[in-house]
Structure 1
Amino acid sequence: MQRACPPPSCPSTLDPPAPLALDAHTALFLDFDGTLADLAERPDEVLVAPELIATLRSLQQSLQGALAIVSGRPMAQLDALLDPLRLPLAGVHGAERRCADGSVQRVNPPPLDPVQARAEALAREIPGLIVERKPAAVALHYRQAPQAAARCVEVMEGAVRASAGLALLHGKMVLEAKPEGATKGHAIEAFLREPPFLGRRAVFAGDDVTDEAGFVAVHAAGGHTIKVGDGETAARHRMATPAALRAWLADAARALASTGAAPAVASTDP
C-alpha cells in the first residue's frame, strides 16, 4: 500500500535559498485547498474571493496560459469554485487532467464501491465523519471528529489493502483511496511535456503531504517549490498561510502585467 508522506530526511525548517520570483518564463502550478483557499470544516464550505479570481486571470494572461491548478478536488468542483475561469487542471491528485488545449485525460480506477461502503458504515457509527465520492477516489474526512483519526486510518487501510490497484493518501484530516499511479507529481510532469508549459521553469505551491510528490517532480525538472504552512517537507521555500501566498501572487500578477517582472520571495519559516 502506497502512502503519501514527506521523505524522512526532510527537515522541519528550511534553510533560506535564493529568493524566488515569478517571471514571464514560469510554469505555475498551484494546489487549491490550504494553498490558494483557506481550509474549511467541510469541503463545500470553502470560499473563493473575487480578488483571487482576478489574480489568477492576470497570471494566466501574463504567463501565456502556463498556469494550472493541481488539486485533490474533482475538476468539476474546481471549475465551479473558479468560475468564470477555465484553467488547465489536474483533479483527484492527477486521476483526471484537463490540458491547456481543452482535452481531458482520465485514469480508469479500480472498483471503489467496497471502499465507499466501509467508509459509509464507519460514518454511520461516528458522527461528524464525511464520505466524499469523487470520479476516481473515495475520501473520508474526519476534521469534525478528530478523536476518530486512528479508527478512520484502521478502516481505510483495511479497505485499500483489500482492493488491488488503490493507494491511500493521508492528508490534513482526510484519508483518500485513489488509483496507485495517480499523483500530483505525474500530473505536473505531464503538463511540462505540453505547450504552453513546455520549456518553462516550474514553480509549485502546496500545503499538504499529498503535495510532496509534486515537489519532488518539480525539483527533478529544475524548478522551485513553496510549502504553505508548517510541517516537514521537501519544498525549498515556505509561506506561513494561504493569505500570504495570495498576497504574493497578487503582487506578482501586478508586476508581471506592468513590467514583465515580479517581486521575489525568500524562504522564511512561519
Structure 2
Amino acid sequence: MHLQNHDYDFAADALFLDFDNTLVDFAPLPESVVVPPDLITSLQYLQQAASGALAIVSGRPLTQIDHFLAPLRLPAAGVHGAERRSADGRMTQLPVPDIERLLMYLQPLAAQHAGLLLEVKRGALALHYRRAPHLEQICVQAMSEALAHEPGFALLRGSMVVEAKAADISKGDAIAAFMNEAPFAGRRPLFIGDDITDEAGFAWVQSPSAGGLGIKVGPGPSLARARIANPAAVRSMLAQVLEQQR
C-alpha cells in the first residue's frame, strides 16, 4: 500500500530512518551525497516533537552519519548495527569479525578497475560499483568467492554495492535494542528504508510483538507493508509532518 497520513503519528511513534537513498538521493560516490539544509531542520524538530524517539539506522559508520547531519548528533546505529549510540549518548560496539583477509582478496580487483571503490568499515567491507555498473556481476562473484573462505560474514546486495558484514548483526536487532530503551520503549516503531539491507528492519518492526510498520522507498519486492516513491517524497513527508506538528 502507498503511505497515507493515517499510517503514522510521529509524535507518538518511534521513527527509524535509513540514510542513503532514503533521506538523501543516490550519488556517484558515497562521500558526494548532498544533504538539503531543510532536512537537517526537519529532523531536528521531528526529534523534539517525538520526545527524542528518532534514530538513524544505516550501513554507514556513525562518524559519516554525524558528518553529513552536523550539527545534529542523533541516536544512531551504524554499520548495520555493529555500532550504536543510544539517546543518552552511550556507545555500544558489538564484536565483529576481522576483515583483513577479505580486504587482501578484493584489493587487486579494485586496483584493476578505476570505477570500483572499496570502503572499509568496522567489521564490514563494501565494494561499490556506482561508477562502473557494468562490473556488477564481477563484483558479486568476487565477494562471494572471498566469503567462501571467511566464516562469520554475510553478503549483502545494496544500491550499486555488494557488502560483507557480520552475519549475526542486523538492522532489525539494532532497532530492537533501541526499542528496549527510553525514549523509544512503549512506542510503535516505524522504519523507512530503501533496499535489501533494510529488510531485516522491516521484518522486526512488523512482527506481532512490535506491531509497527515498514515503509519501503522506491520500487522492488519488499516485506514492508507501505511504500513511498523516492527520497524527495520522504523529505516532503517529513516536512509536512513537521508543519502539522507546529
On the 8 A contact 1:74/1:134 being kept in 2, the answer is yes
Which residue is 1:66 aligned to?
53
In 2, Cα distance between the equivalents of 1:137 and 1:203?
26
SS at match of 2:8: strand
Aligned counterparts, 1:104-123, within 5 A? 104-123=91-110
The CA RMSD measured in Å over matched residues stands at 1.4
How far apart are 1:16 and its partner, in Å? 7.7
Which residue is 1:241 aligned to?
230
- Seen in structure 2, the aligned counterparts of structure 1 residues 236 and 18 have a Cα distance that, compared at 3 Å, is farther
In structure 1, runs of 5+ residues without a counterpart are 1-13, 259-270
How far apart are 1:135 and its partner, in Å? 1.9
On the 8 A contact 1:107/1:136 being kept in 2, the answer is no
How far apart are 1:151 and its partner, in Å? 1.1
How far apart are 1:19 and its partner, in Å? 3.8
In 1, Cα distance between the equivalents of 2:109 and 2:10?
48
In structure 2, runs of 5+ residues without a counterpart are none
How far apart are 1:126 and its partner, in Å? 2.1
Give 1:158's match in structure 2, choosing from 130, 135, 145. Answer: 145
On the 8 A contact 1:69/1:87 being kept in 2, the answer is yes
How far apart are 1:17 and its partner, in Å? 8.3
Does 1 or 2 have the higher relative contact order (CA < 8 Å, sep 6+)? 1
Aligned counterparts, 1:10-89, within 5 A? 14=1, 19-89=6-76
How far apart are 1:15 and its partner, in Å? 7.6
Which residue is 1:92 aligned to?
79
Give 2:218's match in structure 1, choosing from 211, 217, 229. Answer: 229
On the 8 A contact 1:79/1:85 being kept in 2, the answer is yes
On the 8 A contact 2:110/2:117 being kept in 1, the answer is yes
TM-score with structure 2 length normalisation? 0.96
Instruction: Write the letter of the residue equivalent to 1:165.
Output: G
On the 8 A contact 2:190/2:213 being kept in 1, the answer is yes
Instruction: Write the letter of the residue equivalent to 1:105.
Output: T
In 2, Cα distance between the equivalents of 1:158 and 1:28?
37
Structure 1 consecutive aligned stretches of length 4 or more whose deviation exceeds 3 Å: 14-19
Q: Paired residues, what number?
A: 244
